[in-house]
Structure 1
Amino acid sequence: MRTGQNIYKRRDGRWEARVPLGIRANGRRYFKCFYGKTYQEARNRKQDYEKNIPFIKEMVTTSPDTFSSAAYGWLASSEQDWKPATYIRYRNCLEKYILPHWGLLPIREIDQKVYDALITLLEKKLSVSSMQTVNTVISGILKHTLKHLPVTCKKFVAERRMTPKDILSKAEIFRLRSYLEAEEDLTAIGIHLALYSGVRLGELCALTWADIDLETRTLYVRHTLQRIQNRNRLDGEPKTMLQIGLPKNKKERVIPLHEQIRPVLERTRRLYLPSDYLLSGTSTPVEPRRMSSRFKQILKECGLRNIRFHVLRHTFATYSLESGMRTKVLSELMGHSSVKITMDRYVHLSNEFKAAQINNLQYTDSTSIDRQKNGQNDAEAC
């Protein structure tokens, strides 16, 4: 049912308001949609959006070749290739920093001078990371629409300080493990598993008992859990939502179970269904920020310093290298896209390990030196 202002009653009972954004190459219009339980609710969301992006009404009556039209076409065609969090980051960057300046500009008029002017303006207030995202969005839109990049994008390189990663000392690990082995609840099991596998917090929260194969002694990292913006939020609904997706780099990975963690998993596994989440023991996962809060409480009870959960991952990587694990093996266990990333992040080993390793350096031993000296003296005597 249509009631005007491009607002419709859907079959599922909700109201849908559409804002036309442009025309695709096939001649069809595409829209940004807003939903509501009532007509008024959907209309208000539509009007709020149009106020924040004032050029929308002008854009739909002008040429479909505007940068804004091309931008939303790029988002629509590429969305399926990105994780939801990536899509949201690109869209927010586009609407907040680029469209207010380039929205009505014909895309074929964007040249080096236009690009440089925008970059000069934005880099005064944005971080290096944000400027890199701006470049990614601009180049993606231009290549998608024009099939080439008509500008040379300025390079933004973050200054990376090669400082040692924060890791737990052996004494801290002993104290933490003693606590975890005494508790053996699901939270303790999860922390223990992270310490012996290097999984990320979001990956740990997404683990179900089906991901743990005790027969083959294998852990399968198939998903990650994260909180992202609720893109189609209705009035009264939260601004964010939990989302389960593929792990970082969209790669599932296999991690052999360490002998130290396997027995506790075997004792606990029979109490839960394969579909139950590891950390909750139910069909509802524990979200990362709650698990992080539990971790900090355990640190406090153990008398340990306040650290991030991610330090467990750094600890796993550093001690794995110090134990002789090959970098290629560690890179695959960590889920890094390349060995270079592993080396760049974990080149700094502990001072204790360095002190032990330096004694492996050997020149000619003292006996050989004495023999050489005696030989020289004999030769001189002759």
Structure 2
Amino acid sequence: MPIYKDENKKDNPWYYSFEIKDENGKWKTIRKRGFRTKKDAEKAEISIKDAMNKGTYVQQSKLSFSEYLNNWLANRRDIKDKTKVGYKVIIEQHIAPLIGRIPLSEVNAMTIESFLTKIEEKNFSESYVRNIFKVLNKSLKDAERKQLIIRNPAALVAKPRVSKKEMLCWTPEESKQFLKAIFDHRLRIIFVLAIHSGMRMGEILGLRFCDVDLTNMKINIRNILNFKNQLQAGTKTNAGNRSISISDFVVKQLEIRRQNMLKEKAAAGDDYDDKDFVVSTKYGTPYSKAMCDAVWRRLLKKSKLKRIRFHDLRHTCASLLLSLEIHPKVVQELLGHSSIQITLDLYSHLTPNMNKDAAYAMERLLDLDDEDVQTEPESEY
């Protein structure tokens, strides 16, 4: 057995070392140090050779964790640019400084647990800590799939918990009060669409008049305005690509917006850059999310209503519809959720009577007359 003892080491001096031919027919050394006893080294060597014979042996990567993460992110073609930017920030600002120098092959569950403890001490939000863990888990899962490591150590670590936040919505009275308060604003259509149709901010800012069918009272949601202020084909999810029906009121507001846009175009002359956006600056250029958020905060303060996020207008739309007993499947399709389960999970507190209604509906369907119901059970015999 090629088991050796390093006489210069007092602790864990035993190691195994043997040579094999690689796929090119060249000899290379397989060596592993750090065993407490000769027997431990022998067992490990037997296990490695057995894995080689079965074709399950994974050659441990010599890359540092930072090197691997940078390479992993650069070659990801299945994520959006905004997501890639977010991952890059997490890697460079949080993962690399703490555990980036550790060899990829030596990252284990204890490494990750210790790392998460340090991250949690920085008082980041629970959702941000979960996002940091998500990058670790995804990257290490890919390393396992590519056989750079034997097993994804993040799979052995409990995910950081995220407490469920209270969902804030406006009542019908609050919604009407806000819409009334902003009715003289040139871009009130933003908030009309958010409350009446539940569209996301990016969907509203990416909406063009060519996507609007006023005759048939429909909006085709096919694009979003991304974080680079560019029109991006496709929405947040595949289900987000959808057609939604709109009311007479929304149709009228869209017609008013189009008339005002034509006036702005005439006033700007050659300086107008017509991109057909429903929501735009007075010169036709896209209205960024930062600009939209600034207007929202200013109008919210002016209205003196309960403070909610812009995204909560989407929740308001859903809650108002469900309060009118609109079926959750209809709400799901309107909001563009990928499954009805998401809708039910988000708004289950708004449908507490569904089970009770189902029970009474079954009773009405199978109702028996009093004379059909025996008050005393028949004898067994």
TM-score range, shorter chain: 0.5 to 0.7
Alignment gaps of 5+ in structure 1: 1-62, 228-240, 377-382
For 1:113-168, what per-residue CA distance to the aligned partner results, in whole angstroms no more than 9, with x for missing partners? 433443444343354333323332223333333425332342225343474x3222
Instruction: Indicate how the Cα distance of structure 1 residues 218 and 105 shifts in structure 2: closer, same or farther if over 3 A, else same.
Output: same
Q: In the alignment, which residue of structure 1 is the partner of 2:214?
A: 214
Tell whether the 8 Å contact from 2:332 to 2:343 is kept in structure 1 after alignment.
Answer: yes
Q: In the alignment, which residue of structure 1 is the partner of 2:194?
A: 194
- Paired residue for 2:115, among 112, 115, 118? 118
Q: Determine if the alignment matches structure 1 residue 87 to structure 2 residue 84.
A: yes
Instruction: Indicate how the Cα distance of structure 1 residues 69 and 325 shifts in structure 2: closer, same or farther if over 3 A, else same.
Output: same
Alignment gaps of 5+ in structure 2: 1-60, 266-273, 376-381
Q: Partners in 1 of 2:223 and 2:180 — Cα distance?
A: 29
Tell whether the 8 Å contact from 2:199 to 2:335 is kept in structure 1 after alignment.
Answer: yes
**Deviation of 1:318 (Å):** 0.7
Q: Percent identity?
A: 27
Instruction: Indicate how the Cα distance of structure 1 residues 68 and 305 shifts in structure 2: closer, same or farther if over 3 A, else same.
Output: closer
**Deviation of 1:261 (Å):** 0.8
Q: In the alignment, which residue of structure 1 is the partner of 2:157?
A: 154
Q: Partners in 2 of 1:100 and 1:299 — Cα distance?
A: 40
- Alignment of structure 1 residues 344-359 onto 2, 5 Å: 344-349=345-350
Amino acid at match of 1:65: L
- Alignment of structure 1 residues 160-179 onto 2, 5 Å: 160-161=163-164, 163=166, 165-179=167-181
Tell whether the 8 Å contact from 1:71 to 1:141 is kept in structure 2 after alignment.
Answer: yes
Q: Partners in 2 of 1:287 and 1:335 — Cα distance?
A: 22
- Paired residue for 1:247, among 230, 235, 238? 235
For 1:201-241, what per-residue CA distance to the aligned partner results, in whole angstroms no more than 9, with x for missing partners? 232222222221223322122333354xxxxxxxxxxxxx5
Q: Determine if the alignment matches structure 1 residue 336 to structure 2 residue 333.
A: no
- Paired residue for 1:73, among 61, 71, 74? 71
- Alignment of structure 1 residues 1-382 onto 2, 5 Å: 65-78=63-76, 80-125=77-122, 126-146=124-144, 147=146, 149-151=151-153, 152-161=155-164, 163=166, 165-179=167-181, 182-183=183-184, 186-227=186-227, 242-245=229-232, 246-249=234-237, 251-269=240-258, 271-272=261-262, 275-280=275-280, 282-302=283-303, 304-349=305-350
Instruction: Indicate how the Cα distance of structure 1 residues 298 and 170 shifts in structure 2: closer, same or farther if over 3 A, else same.
Output: same
Tell whether the 8 Å contact from 1:123 to 1:131 is kept in structure 2 after alignment.
Answer: yes
Amino acid at match of 1:111: N
**Deviation of 1:75 (Å):** 0.6
SS in 2 for 1:196: helix
SS in 1 for 2:243: strand
Name which one, 1 or 2, has greater alpha-carbon Rg. 2
Instruction: Indicate how the Cα distance of structure 1 residues 327 and 110 shifts in structure 2: closer, same or farther if over 3 A, else same.
Output: same
